[in-house]
Amino acid sequence: METKEGSLALCQCNCDLRMNGIRSNDLSSAQFESDKKGKELKSCSIDMRLLRDNKYVDTAEILGKALKKAESGEISSDGRLYLALSDTPLSLMEKQLFDALPGDKKVLPHDIPVGFHL
């Protein structure tokens, strides 16, 4: 029997894949060193139905809804300024949302602290 932590890790992995434009159904077991891992990821699509049936959402679902609203023009700029740090890794969906948001956007450079030694 799989541990609860293992199930959570698989579902988080599935969310991370979806945030980068990959659905578990797009995966083949042959793409993994172990067939078991591919089958486990594919089984997460069942977990996604469970989320939907119970009206729960994950981060990928929230970002997807926000992206649709931004792309359709449902979000007004109202003088908003969106900031992002240059060294913060963003998923594909996060980048798409940032680009689609109306208003000004600034990517802030990340400076290395001067005089700080480890």
pLDDT of residue 23: 75
- Residue at which a domain ends, from 18, 35, 53: 53
Is 18 within 8 Å of 57 (Cβ atoms)? no
Segments forming the whole domain that contains residue 94 = 59-108
Task: Clarify whether residues 41 and 78 are in a common domain.
Answer: no
Quick: pLDDT tens for 2-11. Answer: 455 666 676 7
Query: Which residue has tokens 């649709």?
Result: 68
Quick: pLDDT tens for 44-72. Answer: 665 677 778 888 888 888 999 999 999 99
Tell whether the model's pLDDT for residue 101 goes beyond 70: yes
Task: Clarify whether residues 40 and 16 are in a common domain.
Answer: yes
| Over residues 70-82, mean pLDDT | 88
Task: Tally the domains of the chain.
Answer: 2
- Residue at which a domain ends, from 53, 69, 88: 53
Task: Clarify whether residues 49 and 8 are in a common domain.
Answer: yes
Task: List Cβ neighbours of 50 (8 Å cut-off, separation of 6 or more).
Answer: none
Q: State percent of the chain over pLDDT 90.
A: 19
Task: Clarify whether residues 46 and 84 are in a common domain.
Answer: no
Q: Do the domain assignments include residue 13?
A: yes
Task: List Cβ neighbours of 25 (8 Å cut-off, separation of 6 or more).
Answer: 42, 45
Q: Do the domain assignments include residue 113?
A: no
Q: Do the domain assignments include residue 118?
A: no
